[in-house]
Amino acid sequence: MATVEPIYASYNADEKAGADHAKAEKILYDEQVTASNASDSVDGFTWTEEEEKAVRWKLDRVIVPVTTFLYLLCFLDRANVGNARIQGMADDLNLVGVRFNWVTSIFYIIYIFVEVPSNILLKAIGPKFYLPLLVVGFGLVSLCSAFVQSFEGLLTARAFLGVFEGGVMPGIAFFITCFYKREELLLRVGIYVSAASMAGAFGGLLATALSRIPPWGASGMIIHTWRNIFFFEGLFTMIVGLGAPYFMPESPMQCHFLNERERRIAVERLQTKHSGDENEKVNVHHVKRAFLNINNYICAFGFFLINITVQGISLFMPTILNELGWKAEKAQLYSVPPYVCACVVAIAVAFFSDKVNRRGIFLAAFTLLGITGFAILRWAKNANIRYMGVFFITLGAFPGGPGFLSWAMNNASGPAIRAISGAYVVTLGTAGGVLATWTYTKADGPYFHTGHTINLVGQIGVLVLSLVGIAYCKWENKQRDLGKRDHRLNGLSDAEIRDLGYRHPAFRYIT
């Protein structure tokens, strides 16, 4: 039978008010065991753990590769401006002073305002076609960036890139939550978000290869070096986006790669975990509850500080390595190993975090590596030692993004609340990307003391927020154990009780 997990009680509030809390908890647990052992659905449909494991494996073979690849392309088309910068774009478009910082900043400014509305649209339209539409859109913008002739043109292109990319990360996060249980979530989110580090690795290699393509095109518009990076990466992204709907299911019940029994298992194994209907519409009270979840703010500000590092390093690593004295191609190639190591470590952290069902302790522990790395970059002078610091930074920071996002989604129960929570946590977190674009300026090179100091302080902040998050979740769970949240059930109907989400007294936060 499916593993017994805490589910939401639906018994009458008046009955509960007449019993002490210990007895109520016993009743709740007995009801769970009885429901799970007798039947996993109202008509007695049951399945074995082996069957559920087989269904999960089939989901993993489709959902994880598709979402990971789409986000890899998203991050690749976002970060390639850093690769293009040292391949001649800065000179060709006269990106003097802080013009490059404005080019990167405008993307995140637009990105922030798109995320929540985009996830509301995704919930209404469905991810099968909406997410691929976004992919085709940002691929087209990247392709068109190959033809810009001025700083103003590049600024406009990056603004449109923000419009399409803004909904991708929260959209994919919500899409994954529609297929997996809470304790299965971080590993899958960790794998797809690790595409950011994979994109960093591929970005350096692709930029080196594409920049070597001989000049081509019409006499009035020759495509060469940095323009090849935008053109071919954008073209490939559009092709993938057009094909994505053939692989993406709309919901567990519509997974074409599962048979009828497996589809039902995929649906009903989630219904024992979540309150609410997976097809519920987003209402005002869902938005309010998402915005009042304290855990979301802890995760959002942690994500904000992590993004200062992740986005900043992704955009400026080629520049930082170039300033160490390495030429353009060497700087591109030397950016690959730190990303590869970060990808492996991020997935490993996600795997073990899911195994022990803990989030905060891993976030706090790996932040120590980021702190060490920025301390090295801030005070060391030797180029090789500073390069070692880059490894510490990527290893310490890249697990943080999926960690904070999963922590928020884990503790935001209910499909509509998860959709809003994921979007606005990423929205607040993305503001860190805006700050990241100003942490490294040309005037601060070659050692970038200001940028490294900002990131060092940010990583210390991540450590503090991780510990605060652990303490808050444990405290809130303790209050519920003591029955101090039971009054929330008073006077509610069964439907209203199921709609309580994370506010239900039986819900327990993951720490």
pTM: 0.73
Q: CA 158, CA 138: separation in Å to the nearest integer?
A: 10
pLDDT in tens, the chain (511 residues): 443 333 333 333 333 333 344 334 333 433 443 333 333 444 678 899 999 999 999 999 999 999 999 999 998 898 889 889 988 999 999 998 899 999 999 998 898 888 878 888 988 888 999 999 999 999 999 999 999 999 999 999 999 999 999 889 888 988 998 899 877 877 888 888 777 777 777 788 888 889 889 999 887 789 999 999 999 999 999 999 999 999 999 889 989 899 999 999 999 888 754 445 555 566 777 778 778 888 889 999 999 999 999 888 877 888 888 877 777 778 778 888 898 898 889 889 988 988 888 999 999 999 999 999 999 999 998 888 999 999 999 999 988 988 898 898 888 877 777 777 877 787 788 788 889 888 988 888 888 899 999 999 999 999 999 999 999 999 999 999 999 999 989 988 887 887 787 888 988 999 9
Q: What does 98-137 look like in DSSP terms, one character per residue?
A: THHHHHHHHHHHHHHHHHHHHHHHHHHH-HHHHHHHHHHH
Structure token digits, residue 396: 């310490």
Distance CA 255, CA 309 (A): 37
Looking at the chain, the number of H-run helices and the number of E-run strands are: 22, 2
Contacts with 367 (C-beta within 8 Å, 6 or more apart), sequence order: 396, 397, 400, 459, 460, 462, 463, 466
Long-range contact pairs involving 88-92 (C-beta distance under 8 Å, separation at least 24): 88/225, 88/226, 89/154, 89/226, 92/226
HEC string of 379-423 equals HCCCHHHHHHHHHHHHHHHCCHHHHHHHHHHHCCCCHHHHHHHHH
The 10 Å Cβ neighbour count of residue 494 is: 12
Give the Cα-Cα-Cα angle 116, 119, 124 (nearest 5 degrees). 130
